[in-house]
Amino acid sequence: MKIAILGGAGLMGAGVARDLLSDRAIIDIACLRICDNSPARMHKLQSELADPRVELFELDVTRADALARALDGVDLCINSVPTLAGFQMAIFEAALAARVPYVDLGGLGTYTVKQLAEHERFQQAGVTAVIGVGADPGMSNVICRAVADELDQIERINLYWAATLIGEENPVLCPPYSVSTVLAEYAHPSTQFLGGKHVQCEPLAGHEFLDLPEPWGRCDFMYSPHSEQLTVPLAEGIKEKGIQEFTWKLHLPSREHEAWVGLVKAGFNDFEDPLSVGGVTIKPVDFLSALIQRNMERNAHRIPAQDSHEIHLAIGHGLKGGKPAVVRCEVIVKPDPMYQGYVDACTSMNASIAAQLILSQPRRPGVFAPESYFDIPSYFVELEKRHFAVRTSVEV
């Protein structure tokens, strides 16, 4: 098998590469093509991976001919270029043109509806595309399907993600994932599924407190713009069960939460209107991303060791066997030596899991969200192989 990772030397792409080349792989990978616009990053990653199967391809994603060459002869395209960079549909279309199966890390729902609208084109071309296959979206969609499958009728499913950091306070702001993604989660309105229909909600709305086990404790959640709420309540086998509510809510550690709120207040929520300073034009989010990265590099010696703990939780309410039931499915990710070298092991490893399940099993052509494509037991086996704790409970 030959796999191409576009944006492969970035924070998420590098993690996907690490997992694909590990001894956890369930497919035979003959070549992993790392496609990126930074030769320096690519060579650094190649040195770290020290695997002869790695092939480097310098990619200008704005050029259709370069995209075509990047996908030439591969068995799967993994798009890990940040969604808000604006190239999602171009890469998506390039995969269709090359007749190459496609996955991306999705997020925020910015392009989800547009991609799903191309289902028939992909189906007719015999090409498989599964969109949003990271942790959230991705694994989160899968646990929602696990919840839905336990209920005969569904009143609501509520999805939550919480992270906490254990250790000395960090004097340096270190984003949990892409800066543009975090800002969008705090600055953009979100679409939630309420009262049986999609409605738009204001940024930072939907506050809800949940008491979670230690080390999270009592957490304040808020609505966030994601793709799960655009697909899960409309999925076959879920919509027919009468679902009336589906929400996605986020909780980041309190100090980091305050920092992101402050950055939005300062104006870094403007993704489109460039700022002119001293004759140089730059988008605020691009400036902030570069500044944060430089600050992290310059102050690496000040960044303390912190253990990140995260919980992904789906709670479903409805009927089972004619009786009211509550179903919970959770995935807990705690520090583990296996995750060394990963910026976000959960996102990277889940993208790798999705890619491998697609290539190892009979494929269905078309465009799918994860809850409509993957076999739940097979997926959970791969999660547990990576030391993610999965638990499902049913209370009737």
CATH number reported for the structural domain that contains residue 316 in this entry: 3.30.360.10
What pLDDT, on a 0 to 100 scale, did the predictor assign at position 86? 87
Rounded Cα gap, residues 41 and 35, in angstroms: 10
Of the spans 173-177, 240-244, 282-286, which averages the highest pLDDT?
A: 240-244
Same domain, 116 and 190: no
Same domain, 144 and 291: yes
Nearest alpha-carbon partner for 354 in 182, 158, 101: 101
Same domain, 329 and 361: no
Nearest alpha-carbon partner for 252 in 323, 204, 288, 301: 204
pTM of this structure: 0.93
Instruction: From residue 163, give the alpha-carbon distance in Å to each of 13, 63, 189, 347.
Output: 21, 38, 22, 13
Residue 107 pLDDT exceeds 70: no
Same domain, 104 and 8: yes
Same domain, 187 and 299: yes
Q: Please list, in sequence order, all residues whose beta carbon lies within 8 angstroms of the beta carbon of residue 297, skipping any fewer than 6 positions away.
A: none
Count the domains in the chain: 2
- At residue 268, the 3 state secondary structure works out as helix
pLDDT tier for residue 270 given thresholds of 50, 70 and 90: confident
Same domain, 88 and 8: yes
Cβ atoms of residues 157 and 243 within 8 Å: yes
Mean pLDDT, the chain, integer: 95
Same domain, 182 and 92: no
* Across 81-85, 221-225, 251-255, 372-376, least confident range: 81-85
Rounded Cα gap, residues 80 and 78, in angstroms: 6
Same domain, 372 and 258: no
Same domain, 46 and 123: yes
Same domain, 32 and 80: yes
What pLDDT, on a 0 to 100 scale, did the predictor assign at position 41? 95
Same domain, 8 and 55: yes
Domain hosting residue 159, numbered range: 139-342+387-395
Residues in the chain: 396
What pLDDT, on a 0 to 100 scale, did the predictor assign at position 191? 96
CATH number reported for the structural domain that contains residue 65 in this entry: 3.40.50.720
Same domain, 26 and 151: no
